[in-house]
Structure 1
């Protein structure tokens, strides 16, 4: 006998076998028991949640000769015939490949005929949202007033694409994503039937990576059973998924908290050498920071995290180190980074630069961020004045300790180590005033800083140009054909991102004005035009240049 995938071999055969959808199966069982099944059903929900399996069970239940508490007996002639596909009174139709008006007209001709053996003729139309507009219109009348021997079961993952006229003619049931516990329990039962075993942690890991889809979970389990003939452990699942172990993610988070750039780069290098996908790695890092956020804001951890007590304790220890605002900053930054990695030509460089940027960007809205800023300012002031004797920086840091654990100084920042005096440090040069030339030289770096925070804003910024810088005010100008982009860039939320990128590049706060080029050309561009004319005269000769 040819091999069958686990999700096909162990497909549910009764309503009780459908995990996580009791709010639907209970109603369907009661309808079958009462003999008042509807003429049209609409099953909607994400992939792998049991829509098609439930439709097949319902098609047998309404035709079963000896139903058991609303379930098909799976033993009578009709049930066996439908299971073996030797009775053709249940028709499965894929709307993705049969979506034309002609296909539906052909169906309308067939529904007139009575079933051959079963009591009801059932049409299961999968991915019904793929039907064309004309096909939906052709189906309307039949769906509203079908023959008494006919039952329609429509299944879709995108119910919002269905016409309201179709939805209103059906009983609609929404299939939910399965919880990790439900998927782990189902996989455990299937493994028992296969005389195989897996650790609970391995089954939960499969469940978490399946995003609520039971079919996806069983496909992963199928791979794991082929990869290991013994007990399936977490390491086997990690190997099959190409995912990253939680210990490695915690190591990276520890390095980010310590602001240890060398260690951060080392972890990324290790992941690359092991052949891990960097986008998947970033996605899992986002998941860890999401769990840290939940630990910070909620007490109902077991339901929201769906982890073991040991894992929850690990998240608690990590969450104690980070202020809530910093966790949210990492979540926002890494989420944007994950989407950028899909189109990056150098994913490694983008990930490394993104993590270092996030790591060295303290949130000054937090108490810890303010203390960090005060410490830096004190360092700069004291090192410039170079006093004869002074207390170590460590003493200053201890004097301003907060409720959060003390964070180590950045390993790459050159901060004074314990025991050093300020006389031993090289005095920093005085900050010079920023000029328009500096802005021009740093413009590409500023744009990259904007791109890291918002790809769409970067695209709009690239349409404008810096034209003036006076008294800490930078003017960015747009020509009239880019008026839409100018208005978008001028929004307060976008200006805040631009100011943040500029301050990061130039080292000082800058006010940003966004104007039309036509408004400022007489003032901002006249000098450049005159210089261009003089250079043209010098190169081509005055007799060849005419000014209009």
Structure 2
């Protein structure tokens, strides 16, 4: 029967434990001197050797012929422990034996001396999962343990263990194993298994193991299912992860705001069966490498090869934007596990990264308020006619206006008459019109100041796609009881999608949440006023009688 690599190559002596030299040195010295403790705590992340060290220590203290603190693994005591033929070394899982009755039963058994060995050793794995009552029962044993009893507790979460227990233990923290140590161990195992595997593949396995040797061996097991020479291309295909080239191409598109390239890479990775959750993790790790190497220019600090390519990407942008990208990916990564379609979450996140803050100083998300004394230059692109030659680029028409913090950056003569001159059509509010009086207290500046909170509310309520669409809003304005969202004429598609009933409803809900008690009606217009005309047409003939045909 085939035996998994992590079981076949489990360390059998302290010298075979990888990456925990300080711990193994201390334990070997205790065994040599014979002054070992009655209780130990081995803590650290998964796959770093805690349980293996506990089993080695159990054999070492009972070994009839120890070798410099290591068990010989040849004497009767060692062989019986390795074969699980003795009752004096017990390994129990606290996850399934976490009740007070389990520990009380244990307490009744430990008082009896060992039958075949010098010491009784109890290894309790995941000890942090014991109940409060079970910890209290365990404390009674640890306070006055029999001289023949040794406890070895292992956990990944030592902070959950009561202080009264911790104070009675010798604590050893197992650190993550370095990539160099993992690669060296994997190379030795591949040689013993007579398998050809490229060093680039070993580095890839070590990077995805996240400092856990057990995880690395499990990945190697998966790769060994392929017969023959294992190359990097074969490895990423078997493991279903994105290779370095795909990650660099995807990240290049994000940094250059090339949405077409980003969507093409995502489609290709999706068609190849790549897991979007894994891709999120790979992208976060990739941009972390770009950020770190850009700040330090030290290639030894990154996870994986390709320091020159990371440094080149770091020079394309700023640390602030890289931090923003990592935060955005991390936020979306937390939601992707609950998403019905993980691909959509990834696409929406990448669209947000590519389209955010395209106009410095004019983005509504930055809550930029123009000074009333500073002239604002607005460039309105001319519409190219079909008769104009393709090689000629029409010159933009430059218009200068003086705007206050409540002005909208478009020309009044482009709007319908009643919207172009709101002051002329405005009627004084009556005493009975309390809604108008309350809404009048909200200025354009107030609305702009709270706009980022409205966007954040949409994201919290799983309306990420709507929030991404609103990144195309170029300005805001309050008129009477109406909150006007203004789109650029170049963003007509985003404007049309934002105007759909489900998106309007989500935006209106978010606005109402932050302007409680004020009946602000959300309205969208594009910069040439066609949006306002469309809204009026919908009021006249009904939305169901209008069909929008997109070219």
Taking structure 1 as the reference length, what is the TM-score of the superposition?
A: 0.71
Any residues of structure 2 matched to 1:184-333 within 5 Å, and which? Answer: 184-226=183-225, 228-302=226-300, 304-308=301-305, 311-333=306-328
Any residues of structure 2 matched to 1:55-70 within 5 Å, and which? Answer: 55-70=54-69
Contact 2:63/2:75 (<8 A) preserved? yes
Contact 1:94/1:125 (<8 A) preserved? yes
How far residue 215 of structure 1 moved from its aligned partner, in angstroms, is: 0.8
| Structure 1 residues 312 and 128, CA gap change in structure 2 (3 angstroms) | same
Contact 2:257/2:353 (<8 A) preserved? no
Inter-partner Cα distance in structure 2 for 1:163 and 1:82:
31
Residue 506 of structure 1: which of 467, 473, 478 is its match?
Answer: 473
Which residue in the other structure is 2:410 paired with?
A: 431
Any residues of structure 2 matched to 1:454-533 within 5 Å, and which? Answer: 470-474=442-446, 494=453, 504-508=471-475, 524=518
| Structure 1 residues 363 and 37, CA gap change in structure 2 (3 angstroms) | farther
Contact 2:182/2:213 (<8 A) preserved? yes
Inter-partner Cα distance in structure 1 for 2:131 and 2:215:
29
| Structure 1 residues 203 and 359, CA gap change in structure 2 (3 angstroms) | same
Inter-partner Cα distance in structure 2 for 1:384 and 1:470:
33
Inter-partner Cα distance in structure 1 for 2:86 and 2:33:
25
Q: Choose 48-57 or 157-166, whichever is displaced more.
A: 157-166
Contact 2:439/2:520 (<8 A) preserved? no
Superposed CA deviations along residues 38-67 of structure 1, whole A, max 9, x for unmatched, are 000011111111110000000011111111
Contact 1:468/1:475 (<8 A) preserved? no
* Structure 2 residue matching 1:357: 3-state secondary structure: helix
Which residue in the other structure is 2:356 paired with?
A: 361
Inter-partner Cα distance in structure 2 for 1:64 and 1:510:
82
> Root-mean-square deviation (CA), in Å?
4.0
Superposed CA deviations along residues 342-395 of structure 1, whole A, max 9, x for unmatched, are 2223333332232122112247779xxxxxx9xxxx998454699xxxxxxxxx
Any residues of structure 2 matched to 1:32-431 within 5 Å, and which? Answer: 32-226=31-225, 228-302=226-300, 304-308=301-305, 311-362=306-357, 381-383=378-380, 420-423=392-395, 431=410
Contact 2:176/2:212 (<8 A) preserved? yes
Superposed CA deviations along residues 58-88 of structure 1, whole A, max 9, x for unmatched, are 0011111111111111111111111122222
Taking structure 2 as the reference length, what is the TM-score of the superposition?
A: 0.71
Which consecutive unaligned segments of at least 5 residues does structure 1 have? 367-372, 387-416, 439-465, 477-488, 528-548
Q: Choose 57-66 or 502-511, whichever is displaced more.
A: 502-511
Inter-partner Cα distance in structure 2 for 1:526 and 1:192:
71
Inter-partner Cα distance in structure 2 for 1:382 and 1:518:
33
How far residue 498 of structure 1 moved from its aligned partner, in angstroms, is: 7.5
